[in-house]
Amino acid sequence: MIIAGMLYSIFGMKTSVLCAQAAQEGPEADVIQDGSQSIFHNQLMVAEQDVDMKAEPDAKSQTLMTYKKGDLVFSTGETADGWYLVMYQDKTGYVKKEALSIQELDVEGLDAEMALYEQEVKLVVETVEIYHAESRRSKIWGGVIIILVAAIFAVGIFSAVKAKKEEESGKMREQGVEIEDWNA
């Protein structure tokens, strides 16, 4: 899957479609391409020299593009007469077998790199989860503080009203006015 992703980014969408087709049909699947028999092999190759991609498996055929020495080439098949069926983005063509060699992939290195990447992703996910938990706690404590401040204001207002009533009640008693129980 990793290699398919790399090939997709290098060679375009059509490559991943062919990889999927080849995987479904198996590595031994034969395909008829322009009347000649080709064998699917989906292999990453490297250009050993500057080489032209031809429209047909013929040296006199139209040149679609030129690969420079060292360029990576994705070969999807091989013809019986010594040509690789290759792809680049939306172009499909042929390159002589002598001009390409198999690109060896460091599978162990890729596995180690992916394991490291996996650890980094887990660390990022854990960090994000910690930030979300802290955010939820902050919101809860913010709500608690607002309720406490509102309660303090309510107690203050209630105390002020009660003190005002008691003060008025005390003044009226001093003046000799009978007061019925205000608390009733």
Helix (H) or strand (E) holding 126: helix 107-174
Walk along the chain (184 residues) and give the pLDDT tens digit of each residue.
Answer: 444 444 444 444 443 344 444 444 443 434 444 444 455 577 888 899 999 999 999 999 999 999 999 888 888 888 888 899 998 888 899 999 898 888 777 778 888 889 999 999 999 999 999 999 999 999 999 999 999 999 999 999 999 999 888 888 877 777 776 655 555 4
Name all domains of the chain by residue range, CATH numbers in brackets: 2-102 (2.30.30.40)
Residues 6 or more apart from 157 whose CB is under 8 A from it?
A: none
Q: Is the pTM of this model over 0.85?
A: no
Q: Is 62 helix (H, G, I), strand (E, B) or coil?
A: coil
